[in-house]
Amino acid sequence: MSVIVVKRPPRALPPDVPSEEVTLESPPEIPREGDNNMLMNLLPMLGMGGSAAFFFMPGIGNPFMKVMGVIMLGSTLAMVIAQIVKSRQGPSGQMNQERQDYLKYLSQKRREVRRTAHKQRDAQLFLHPSPDQLWSIVAEGRRVWERRASDGDFAQVRMGLGPQQLATPLKAPETAPVEELEPLTAHAMKQFLSVHGTLDGLPLAVSLRAFYHITVSGDPDTVYGTSRAVVAQLCTLHSPEDLTVAVVAAPGALAEWEWAKWLPHVQHSSLDGAGTRRLIVEDLGEVEELLADDLEGRSRFNPQGAPVADTPHVVIVLDGGGVPADSVIAGADGLQGVTILEVVPGDLDELRSSLAVQVAPGKLTLESSSGAVYTGEPDVLSVSEAEALARLLAPLRAGSADGDEPLLANLDFTDLMNIGDAGSVDVSRTWRPRTLHERLRVPIGLGQDGQPVMLDVKEASQEGMGPHGLCVGATGSGKSELLRTLVLGLAVTHSSETLNFILADFKGGATFTGMSDMPHVAAVITNLADDLTMVDRMRDAITGELQRRQELLRSAGNYANITDYEKARAAGAPLEPLASLVMVLDEFSELLTAKPDFIDMFIQIGRIGRSLGVHMLLASQRLEEGRLRGLDTYLSYRIGLRTFSAAESRAAIGVPDAYHLPNVPGAGYLKYDTETMVQFKAAYVSGPYRSGGGGGGGGGVRTDRLPVLFTAESVERHVIEEPEPEEVPEQEDDALADTVLDVIVQRLQGQGPPAHQVWLPPLEESPSMDRLLPALAVSPERGVHAAEYTAQSKLVVPCAIVDKPFEQRRDVMYLDFSGSAGHGLVVGGPQSGKSMILRTLMAGFALTHTPYEVQFYCLDFGGGGMLAFEGLPHVGGVATRLDAEKVRRTVSEVVGILNAREEFFRDNGIDSMGTFRQRRAAGQYPDQPWGDVFLVIDGWATFKTDYEMMDPVILDIASRGLGFGVHLVITSARYTEVRPALRDQLLNRVELRLGDPMESEFDRKRAENVPTGQPGRGLSPDKLHFLSGLPRIDGSSNTEDLSDGMAHFVSTVAEHWNLPPAPKVRMLPTMLSVNELPPGGAHPERGIAFGVDETTLSPAFIDFENDPLFVVFGESESGKSSVLRLLAKQIAERYSTDKALMVVADYRRALLGELPDSHVYKYCAAGPQLQEVLTGLAGSLGRRMPGPDVTPEQLRNRSWYDLPDAFVIVDDYDLVA
């Protein structure tokens, strides 16, 4: 059984009851008969009548005077009549009025007395609760063992219910003799005193300190029921440290007290075979032996004597047990601080105790040795009720401190919440359904009276303090601890289905460390100061949550607020749970300094959060005047811990008191309306956890571990041999030990449905391609591919994950190359991940399209990362910056594909690339090896600089390519590096972190928030942040071994593709045999073939008839002489000797013997010879000039002369010149 330590807070006081004596007023007296002299009353009236006659005397002609006379005469007559009527009534009219007034007075007093009676009844039932309600005190825990030895009602026990005098005694007034009083009111006063002077049904309590021997006798069942009620009250309201209970029962009566074995007050410090020994014995002498230390030094009983200091009061229940003749306790005078409660199932012949309690069903009589007798109805408690209560008390143990100074003493969280051992927290009990009053209401500390100070974050219309609040506290004031206490208290008392949290800390402190594992937590956001981009992300996430709740209320039935929604759900409507959301933001003041516009979101929450169930608590170390502009009206409660200055205290709670708080962590004020302010001391939740269960310490003998029956009687101990002592490990350092918070969080983990996640972790780990795509599969037709991917027919591939904090989710980011945005541009600063996203793009195509459907031709002018993909069956070739020939050939290959396809479309009537893809997928055009072709250039600026002559070629590909399935994808450090004509063609754009965010084409402000130092992070066209995927399929997000991951990916795809790969880039041969060229006369219309064109890899021709001059440039040993030999051979094959002759200048004699002799007119190995030959040739040529008689037709076919053409071949022109 686990142990629950009870640390008693200062005692809760009962309701105040007035005690002033009430003296009633005297009832009215009967009036005496007076002299009714009618003449004396009529004389003034007759005088008025005579005066009225004056107005009618002759000579007075004024009509107005006569009117006045008539009025005066009428008044006189009315007064005479009224006097006559009054004289006939006598004094009875006055008496009736006085009687009514006095009865009204008694009615008013009756209401006052009834209010006092209600207060008195409430206070008495609070002090002396009914025995059948004691279990609720134990279950609630606040008042368990509340009475201390210094309290005036210590050891007072309720015996039953009976009459008591009114707390405000009613005193009769001094009156005239009864015969002179008005009888009705006098009788009413007498009845008032009789009825209201005493109250029925109030507890009849007995102080055990005033009696050393009490007998309970009468009906046996009632006797035991009353005795059980007495013991139950004592053990519920008194600590075992202050009160000890022992039972001395005859063997036949032990069964009646079997239930008492569970009471902690009955446990002795010694042990038996079942644990601590129970003070339930058959002889009083055993009790005296066991309690010898407690009984030693006690004086004889004195009712007026002072209680025994520092020792418990002992209550001995004597039920027929043996009493030794020399018993100290049962002596004639008894012992101070010891009370014998003798149980006598039957009637007593004589009074043998200082107080005799006689009981019967429904009847109670208390008779003291002084002769005082009280009657009433006895309390009874059944055995089952008593045992249930005892079992509730069984795990409780007295704590080491009682917290007499609640504002200074440390208060453990478990004591505040009354949950016992943190390691035994049971959510099935703590998460019980809560009433509307208990909902969102949690203690945060103790007040000056030792009572828990409750923070209720419900709205005021639900009797709460309001949904939003403020907490300010200087460094060391305990602010973080208070926030942890509040959050954990709400989590312990509310299920994750009804309450969720957003916990944010701007400075990234340890305020909410360890709380993320609670099922209630929807977001834990820290380190915002280190990365201000997260602030905007948090705003999007919270704003999105507000909108989500609004849409949920609207779609569920247009509910006005969450209260109506929950009512409908409780009534059976099929609605999903919508938990209240408490957002706690620490260091919000610094957040507003960094992001002043964030206050708009706070105001929005303050305005609409109440109806959406969103509650906000803003905490800070400092609070400047005016910082809360517009927001303070929504902060309905304020918590002020110790502040740095009086001004900050005034700004927080309106008064400077928080500045003068003691330097004790957790001391503060709670202000929740314009006037109410409560001082409190917060609980401590971060202390090291100490298990409540106690194992026996080392040393002493050991007993066996066999189970035994737990009985009231002592159980024999079976001692076993003590084994060799084991080495006890050193106690774990408190700094490394689990805290109370850690242990409770572990108990809560996994206990309820997880909260709806408002905050997803920031984009930090790049996903591998197998996480961006459906499950991969292998098939002979498609190789390694995403089996359930549905966009194979389109050029849509995943390449990244995009962060959508407003929608509280992440989606895969796709790039679509099937439409007008078929060309791509990746822009990003240095080390921003441009090459990475290109490889991810290619990996995406490789896993969703076959090498028959897409092909890649790559120019790597970056860091060489594209070479890792050269073995991919989809890749036709990868050329680096240093491989100039391959660069040119790659571009030429793509241009050749474009030109050939354009001609193929025309010849086959293909109207679009979509038609071509469809027909080719259906099996047509098997001779077409290319599908959609991608020319990928990584590092556009370098390419443009090194191969400037290819810039127009690339622009041509961009302009014409999309219509024929040729795509261009390039990377650049800046947008401006790509000239507008080309940039306008590249509509599919990926923007990574830019060197200068002001160059962003999507959103300059948001581009500033793209973090540096995280390759792959960028901004999508939708202005959302994304993180590039990794070109690997092993599920790893590690970039350290990315080269191994890419090699594994390439080898896996290549291994499972058994069909032809993408056509490779064809290169110029290193050795070209003359036999591979057409003979010189094979194409007379095109001229003479002398090599292979690198663009088309077809023969290259020179037409000397149109271009008679030809120069061959080259370094030494580059093959210039070989070209001349080839040309000479081709000329000889092209022309007969009568058509062409050659003059050869060969100073180095490299061509000697290598030329066809039939066509060599002159071979010159020296300058003089060459000069002579050329001089003669010049004269011959001059004679060939057409004369005036040559016709145009002769000029056209050169028939005006029949001499052979002269080919002057000069090897090493620099020697000749």
Q: Which sequence positions are flagged as catalytic?
A: 587
CB 399 within 8 A of CB 390: no
CA 679, CA 641: separation in Å to the nearest integer? 10
- The answer to whether 179 is annotated as binding is no
- The answer to whether 620 is annotated as binding is no
What number of other Cβ atoms are within 10 A of residue 615's Cβ?
A: 26
- The answer to whether 447 is annotated as binding is no
Cβ contacts of 430-433, under 8 Å, gap ≥ 24: 430/492, 430/493, 431/493, 431/494, 431/495, 431/751, 431/752
Q: In what order do the strands lie in the sheet with 452-456?
A: 452-456, 441-447, 677-682, 667-671, 637-641, 468-472, 614-620, 580-586, 499-505, 521-525
For residue 914, give every residue at least 6 positions away whose Cβ sits within 8 Å of its Cβ, in sequence order, or none. none
- Residue 1040 carries which DSSP code? T
Query: Pick from 445, 415, 442, 405: which is nearest to 145 by CA?
Result: 415
Query: Pick from 101, 90, 77: which is nearest to 35 by CA?
Result: 90
- The answer to whether 149 is annotated as binding is no
CA 1017, CA 837: separation in Å to the nearest integer? 10
- The answer to whether 480 is annotated as binding is yes
CB 990 within 8 A of CB 798: no
CB 142 within 8 A of CB 450: no
- The answer to whether 862 is annotated as binding is no
CA 1006, CA 1000: separation in Å to the nearest integer? 9
- The answer to whether 217 is annotated as binding is no
- The answer to whether 1194 is annotated as binding is no
Six token digits for residue 370: 């002084």
- The answer to whether 687 is annotated as binding is no
Q: What share of the chain is helix, strand, coil (3-state, %, to 5)?
A: 35, 20, 45
- The answer to whether 474 is annotated as binding is yes
Give the 3-state DSSP-derived string for 640-683, with helices as H, strands as E and coil as C: EECCCCHHHHHHHHCCHHHHHCCCCCCEEEEECCCCCEEEEEEC
CB 12 within 8 A of CB 450: yes
- The answer to whether 1119 is annotated as binding is yes
- The answer to whether 576 is annotated as binding is no
For residue 351, give every residue at least 6 positions away whose Cβ sits within 8 Å of its Cβ, in sequence order, or none. 367, 369
- The answer to whether 822 is annotated as binding is no
- The answer to whether 1121 is annotated as binding is yes
In DSSP notation, 1148-1165 reads T-TTTTTS-GGGEEEEE-
CA 1037, CA 1043: separation in Å to the nearest integer? 12
Give the 3-state DSSP-derived string for 817-873, with helices as H, strands as E and coil as C: CCCCCCCEEEECCCCCCHHHHHHHHHHHHHHHCCCCCEEEEEEECCCCHHHHHCCCC
Six token digits for residue 1006: 């948001």
CB 203 within 8 A of CB 161: yes
- Residue 133 carries which DSSP code? G
Q: Which residues pair with 29 in a beta bridge?
A: 181
Query: Pick from 765, 913, 931: which is nearest to 848 by CA?
Result: 931
- The answer to whether 1098 is annotated as binding is no
- The answer to whether 818 is annotated as binding is no
CA 734, CA 688: separation in Å to the nearest integer? 6
Q: Rg for the chain (alpha carbons), in Å? A: 54
CA 1149, CA 137: separation in Å to the nearest integer? 123
CA 6, CA 1053: separation in Å to the nearest integer? 68
- The answer to whether 833 is annotated as binding is yes
CA 984, CA 975: separation in Å to the nearest integer? 11
CA 875, CA 1066: separation in Å to the nearest integer? 13
CB 408 within 8 A of CB 475: no
- The answer to whether 477 is annotated as binding is yes
Classified as helix, coil or strand, 303 is coil
- The answer to whether 835 is annotated as binding is yes
State phi, psi for 94 to the nearest 5 degrees.
-65, -40
- The answer to whether 649 is annotated as binding is no
What does DSSP say about strands 1088-1092 and 1099-1102: parallel, antiparallel, or unpaired?
A: antiparallel
Q: Please give the annotated binding residues for ATP, written as ranges.
A: 473-480, 828-835, 1114-1121
Q: Please give the annotated binding residues, written as ranges.
A: 473-480, 828-835, 1114-1121
